[in-house]
Structure 1
């Protein structure tokens, strides 16, 4: 297996940051940095390119999830569906419980395995419409969504939970169940803080 030395990794980081600071597009800066780092790290140019391609393949699925969530968010905004859903939520749960509804929405999404950033992007059009409809600050809305998302993440079948289950030789369901109480506690704390920020920002 081809390995890049520590010096190469540091060189890649320094070159990429320097180029980005000089207004070079981040994607190009990172590509050039990776090429320089590979060569400095004692790897041939061919192997460096192979390493870069292999690394890129590993992040494609995550990027596609985020893009799909962005497309969904755009459709919700442009079609007016986000506004309609927001008005329905406010009518059903009331303006005072709108934050809790948003936190629970992101909690449910992440609890079934959706990444936190994807869940927030998906719910954000509805959240922004609720913020406007109920006169709630964006800071409060964001905290409610992130808090709910992280709470769901604690009890979800995520890579960390799988790694912990393997390391301690326990069922994945036991690890997930152990995260329910801390997750709900975190949700309550995030909701209480978000309520304090309702009229700020």
Structure 2
């Protein structure tokens, strides 16, 4: 599926995965992998981290997992975009806003740049099959008090992950530890 998406969408080939030249760790000849094969390798790293026990994680593995998550978001958006032509319906209402405001290339660039506004947060929640509960503590001109948002919506039974938004660019996870 990943190689097929890279073949259908040329702009995916321009995505700087991991923002540095990555040399294949599995290849002793130090050849640089193509972006589609690198994407598969990055997704494999995420799979390995998810299914491995608690062990020492390297910084490069964490970076690869973040890139895999970004890639998953873009691939989910492309999948929904392609099915729109075929089925003429969207799985969730926020996709109509997302595709009205941005084309798939723009969505890729926004995710790559770390821009996560309402529609991108909905895409993240839908891709991971979770609900994001965001406690927005940023003070805007319209709102003087903190507010709470639930993405993508309150009507599903997905698990809830809570975050605090203290500024426009970062979300901080909220941990609850039982006594």
Q: By the TM > 0.5 criterion, same fold?
A: no
The normalised TM-score by structure 2 is 0.28
- Which has the larger share of strand? 2
- Which has the larger share of helix? 1
Q: Return the structure number with greater relative CO, CA threshold 8 A, min gap 6.
A: 1
Task: Please say which structure displays the higher CA radius of gyration.
Answer: 1
The normalised TM-score by structure 1 is 0.25
